[in-house]
Amino acid sequence: MGRKLLFDKAHIEGIRYYDVYRANGGYGSAEKALKSMKPEEVLEEVKKSGLRGRGGAGFPTGMKWSFIAKPEGVPRYLVCNADESEPGTFKDRYLMEFIPHLLIEGLLISSYTLGCNSCYIYIRGEYAWIPDILEQAIAEAKKNGWLGKNIQGTGFDLEIYVQRGAGAYICGEETALIESLEGKRGNPRIKPPFPAVKGLWDCPTVVNNVETLAAVVPILRIGGDEYAKYGIGKSTGTKLISACGNINKPGVYEIEMNISVEEFIYSDEYCGGIANGKRLKACIPGGSSVPILPANLLLKTAKGEQRMMTYEGLADGGFATGTMLGSGGFIVLDEDQCIVRNTLTFARFYHHESCGQCSPCREGTGWMKRVLQNIENGKGKMSDIDLLWDIQRKIEGNTICPLGDAAAWPVAAAIRHFRDEFEWHVLHPEEATKRNFGLAHYADPLEIAAPAAV
Amino acid sequence: MFSEEKLNKVKEIIARYPAGKQKSALIPLLHLAQEEFGGWLSAETMDYVASLLQIKPIEVYEVATFYSMFNLKPVGKYVFEVCQTGPCMLLGSDNIIDYIKKKLDIGVGETTKDGLFTLKTAECLGACGYAPMMQLGKHFREHLTPEKVDAIIEECRVKAN
Amino acid sequence: MAEEKKLFKVKIDNISVEVEPGTSILNAARKIGGDIVPPAMCYYSKLQGSGGKCRTCLVKVSKGSEADPRPMPKLVASCRTNVMDGMEVANITSPEVQEARKGVVEFLLLNHPLDCPVCDQAGECHLQDLSYEHGADTTRYEFKRRTFDRIDIGDKIQLHMTRCILCYRCVFTADQMTEKREHGVLGRGEAAEIGTYIQQSLDNNFIGNVIDVCPVGALTDKTFRFKNRVWFLKPVDAHRDCHDPKCCGKTVLWMRGDEVFRVTARKDKYGEVEEWICDTCRFDKKEVKDWTIEGPRKIERQSVISQGHYVGVHKPKDTLVEVLDGRQPKLLLDIHTVSEVNRPEIDLSQIDGPAHSDDFNKK
């Protein structure tokens, strides 16, 4: 059994409620931080832990916190990003639904560290029942003196508010989230200035993912140094992975970042292997926007080593032969799945979710979707594949926010690794509507560490 | 117009933000208004919300048209929003959509003649591990099968009577 | 003694310039001028918060600053990125930038109707200029273009959303120039559009400025619609004593003969208005007697508007003599006898801007 830090008590009956949570050591970290540590000391522990943002980008949390500006007389804000919308990702939902107090305790410690007295949880609008759970937990915490004025007699004040979004993936981008929280359209801001200097209502703001903020609790409990002993290298601690697709046991798993991808997919502790006795064809290990990998490159790196479930392990080989840990949305495709169709659904997703502010993303995402539709419907041309490649290349890196990159990468990776499947669709349009390309050579052992074509 | 009770809720929401930042309450208020006034936002409703927050009507229209959860046209009493993105597609969401279309004899974006059901497709709703799924009102209906869809439709019909 | 402000040294395409801290790369490039100035479709120096959206002004920062010489990982929007001391920027010297810009132009034109032959903006359209300079000769887009119905927002302004590139300039203008903004951006992504939601006319004495800031033919002057081609008109600087304190009263009249076809604000060489004008000046003062004419407007030589094609013109056949059975029409006044203006040795196409009597008086 892998070691757990967030879900170690998740199985306890009634852990959703304050009394049970508290009886099992809950708010112990907050007590320690507020009563016996200075904010700088807490920050030091978070820095030592090596905790990296769990929302997708993997930026060191301690460093992000140290950037916050502290002008006199200006309030600072902590915003919790619970706008979990990346296809394949549903880990924060699980955490908020089942252990809401873990998040609230994390918010309390983080707000204390950053010197914030108001904190907003921005949760995606579709999770319509979760605000009730969170608000109930907030009320419980307040009743027991963990929120409100003069918390536990320490003189520290904190209010936590829950704000629902209303259906926009883009609001997961921190500046779009801030705009939305200000009651505006979710158009990402042009950076700089960064939120740490000018964020919510032009005040210094830190935006962190739910899992990141929850992870602060075990860091304080066991200490930053101890936390850093979990995992491998710069991938410290544990990570929540939401596994879905054609596997036997879809769900949210907490893994210590020291296991291999193979173990994660096939061991009974986690995904339990591919469903219905099928074979693995491909996998998108970090949410829809990270590059898709064929089975052979997923399990082994181009150098022939075991691929590990860490930030570095999944990124090994760069985009040519690697991918990213991203937000931990682990999507598995079996041999019966069609890569073109899967890529099309992602292109459709990004087209639907583009805010429309900057031109490459606004126009390019729709174009890619339409070209992919043609290929999928048997109306594609060989030149369309190169066209797609060119479109994604012109979107990537040229947009205001990372949604452009997120839209470009899945298309690029699908063509990079599955070009023959696209070509088969073009050459056999009739057949392609009746059956799928199948596993082909995508699980064959890699012979040499050759960079893929294109 | 909101009832006294809802107006108190409005006040409570506005109080979450610093003075003068009441515009932040716009999205929560639009949710509230949509629930209250027939499941969609008419121009009058939006103007009313604008007046509550003392902002310009265009600021409300801009926001309401941006977010996909706000309906700008009347919808049925029960809205089936079926997710069709990658992970759901891998587990057969397309079949579920086709099944609902046939069963209710409507297309995507349409409402049944009796005004009970509207079918919509949605992009990833964050329940990928429990696919295929749909959103119905405040809650998710997961692990859908044709039989489950039948049961849900029946359940709604019973509730409507 | 006031402390002397330290200037930042910046190099753009290997040309050095010194600018004040807080200057954007684009404005530093404009200080240098010439070909190295990145094109800008959405940035407008007079509108706060504008820029960053169209991505045509992307440049490469090959050296961040003297203190931190690392290059920036991505291309940056030069209109919204401030210079640092010692920064080095590549615009036309970077193939990567040129390639990206070509892509952006293709994206901007993807859904553009390319109806320049019937568009009033033709001849002074920034998208037209941009696509000539950076665009490809054909489109690779094989799908149906997005279209919208034309709508009148008031009796003086027409919104032709199909042509819009969503630069947001008109939204900023309404926000910053008028008391109450009534139009905005509705919808999301590809379906985003400029509109009022419930159809209504925009009613404000400064709303006409949205016509001037629109880089394309999406917002046009209805009083000028299909009246004339801009390059057939003679622009002249004029002013009047406008009572509106926010209006500068300084305009350009676009004339043909004695007729004033339209009135616009004065624009600089980047197409930005020098000072704002009110709608009374713009729409209601269409007579020469309303104005004090200062002289011809200087138009950039590259503009189609300044192209007086007087060279190699064939004299049309004089039909008058023919219908008069060979009799010469009697001239009431033979101008040659009283004026020095007629000097055939002057090549009109060599004159900077539209011809003026001064050009003929120079000895």
| 105-124 of A, contacting B, C-beta below 8 A | 124
pLDDT tens track for A140-157: 999 999 999 999 999 999
Residue C296 has pLDDT above 60, yes or no: yes
Nearest C-alpha in B relative to C183: B58
Residue C308: predicted pLDDT: 56
Nearest C-alpha in C relative to A365: C190
Q: Do residues C252 and C309 make contact, with C-beta atoms less than 8 angstroms apart?
A: no
Residue A304: predicted pLDDT: 87
- In the chain, the amino acid numbered A364 is G
Find tokens 């799924």 and name the residue.
Answer: B133
The model's confidence at residue A450, banded by pLDDT at 50, 70 and 90, is: low
Q: Do A398 and C52 touch (CB under 8 A)?
A: no
- Interatomic CA distance for residues C287 and C285, integer angstroms: 6
A201 in reach of chain B (CB within 8 A): yes
pTM recorded for the entire structure: 0.89
C75 in reach of chain A (CB within 8 A): yes
- Contacts of residue A251 in chain B, CB cutoff 8 Å? 129
Q: Do C187 and B65 touch (CB under 8 A)?
A: yes
- Which of A184, A189, A190, A363 is best to mutate for the C interface (most C CBs within 10 A)? A363
- Dihedral angle over CA of B80, B81, B85, B87, nearest 10: -60
| CATH superfamily, region B4-66 | NADH-quinone oxidoreductase subunit E (1.10.10.1590)
Three-class SS of residue A123? strand
Residue A359 has pLDDT above 60, yes or no: yes
B32: DSSP letter? H
Residue B118: predicted pLDDT: 94
Q: What is the mean pLDDT of residues A318-336?
A: 92
Residue A164: predicted pLDDT: 94
Residue A423 has pLDDT above 90, yes or no: yes
- Interatomic CA distance for residues B33 and B49, integer angstroms: 8
- C187 vs chain B: nearest CA distance in angstroms? 5
Nearest C-alpha in B relative to A84: B126
Hey, which of A332-336, B157-161, C138-142 has the most confident mean pLDDT? Answer: A332-336
Residue C3 has pLDDT above 80, yes or no: no
Lowest mean pLDDT among A170-174, A263-267, C124-128, C294-298: C294-298
Q: Do B56 and C197 touch (CB under 8 A)?
A: no
Q: Do B58 and C187 touch (CB under 8 A)?
A: no
Strands A118-123 and A159-164: what pairing? parallel
Q: Do residues C41 and A347 make contact, with C-beta atoms less than 8 angstroms apart?
A: no
Nearest C-alpha in A relative to C190: A362
Find tokens 């404005």 and name the residue.
Answer: C27
Nearest C-alpha in B relative to C192: B66
The model's confidence at residue A451, banded by pLDDT at 50, 70 and 90, is: low
What mean pLDDT value characterizes chain C? 86
Whole-angstrom CA distances from A414 to A288, A364, A371, A407 are 12, 17, 14, 12
Q: Do A348 and B85 touch (CB under 8 A)?
A: yes
Lowest mean pLDDT among A290-304, B77-91, C321-335: C321-335
Q: Which residue has the higher pLDDT, C359 or A45?
A: A45
Q: Do residues A407 and A289 make contact, with C-beta atoms less than 8 angstroms apart?
A: yes
Residue A449 has pLDDT above 80, yes or no: no
Residue A375's contacts (CB-CB under 8 Å, 6 or more residues apart) are A340, A384, A385, A422, A425, A426
Lowest mean pLDDT among C72-81, C152-161, C198-207: C198-207
- Interatomic CA distance for residues B150 and A339, integer angstroms: 31
| Chains within contact range of chain B (3+ C-beta pairs < 8 Å) | A, C
Residue C217: predicted pLDDT: 93
The pair phi, psi for residue A41, each rounded to 5°, is -70, -40
Q: Do B68 and C187 touch (CB under 8 A)?
A: no
Q: Do C104 and A351 touch (CB under 8 A)?
A: no
Residue C39: predicted pLDDT: 94
Q: How many CB pairs under 8 A join A and B?
A: 141
Q: Do A354 and C189 touch (CB under 8 A)?
A: yes
- Interatomic CA distance for residues B24 and B20, integer angstroms: 10
Residues of B with CB under 8 A from a CB of C: 43, 56-59, 61-62, 65-68
Q: Do C180 and B43 touch (CB under 8 A)?
A: no
Q: Find, among A104, A102, A140, the residue nearest to A18 by Cα.
A: A140
Q: Return the axis-axis angle of helices A403-427 and A359-376, rounded to nearest 10°.
A: 20
C180 in reach of chain B (CB within 8 A): yes
- Contacts of residue C198 in chain B, CB cutoff 8 Å? 43, 61
Q: Do residues C238 and C278 make contact, with C-beta atoms less than 8 angstroms apart?
A: no
Residue C331: predicted pLDDT: 59
Tokens of B81: 């929003």
pLDDT tens track for A165-192: 999 999 999 999 999 999 999 999 998 8
C324 in reach of chain B (CB within 8 A): no
- Interatomic CA distance for residues C276 and A395, integer angstroms: 36
Q: What angle do CA C117, C123, C129 make, to 5 degrees?
A: 105
- Contacts of residue C184 in chain B, CB cutoff 8 Å? 58-59, 61-62
- Interatomic CA distance for residues C156 and C147, integer angstroms: 22
State the CB neighbour count (10 A cutoff) for residue C64: 15
Nearest by CB to C53, which of A357, A363, A366? Answer: A357
Q: What is the mean pLDDT of residues C190-206?
A: 83
Q: What is the mean pLDDT of residues C2-28?
A: 88
Nearest by CB to C186, which of B56, B62, B68? Answer: B62
The pair phi, psi for residue C116, each rounded to 5°, is -50, -35
- Dihedral angle over CA of A31, A37, A38, A42, nearest 10: -80
A146 in reach of chain B (CB within 8 A): no
The model's confidence at residue C149, banded by pLDDT at 50, 70 and 90, is: confident
Residue A416 has pLDDT above 50, yes or no: yes
| Chains within contact range of chain C (3+ C-beta pairs < 8 Å) | A, B
- A23 vs chain B: nearest CA distance in angstroms? 31
Tokens of C89: 């920027």
- CATH class in words for B78-160: alpha beta
The model's confidence at residue C309, banded by pLDDT at 50, 70 and 90, is: very low
Q: Do A352 and C189 touch (CB under 8 A)?
A: yes
Nearest by CB to C197, which of B58, B66, B67? Answer: B58
Residues of chain B with pLDDT under 50: none
- A126 vs chain C: nearest CA distance in angstroms? 18
Q: Do A342 and B89 touch (CB under 8 A)?
A: yes
Domain extents in chain B:
4-66, 78-160
- Interatomic CA distance for residues C149 and C164, integer angstroms: 12
Nearest by CB to A331, which of B30, B87, B130? Answer: B87
- Which of C186, C203, C204 is best to mutate for the B interface (most B CBs within 10 A)? C186
Q: What is the mean pLDDT of residues C280-298?
A: 90
Residue C133 has pLDDT above 80, yes or no: yes
Residue C128: predicted pLDDT: 92
Q: Do C54 and A359 touch (CB under 8 A)?
A: yes
Q: Do C110 and A367 touch (CB under 8 A)?
A: yes
pLDDT tens track for C46-81: 999 999 999 999 999 999 998 999 999 999 999 999
- Interatomic CA distance for residues A85 and B86, integer angstroms: 13
C187 in reach of chain B (CB within 8 A): yes
Residue C314 has pLDDT above 60, yes or no: no
- Contacts of residue A433 in chain B, CB cutoff 8 Å? none
Nearest C-alpha in A relative to C59: A398
- Contacts of residue C192 in chain A, CB cutoff 8 Å? 355-356, 362
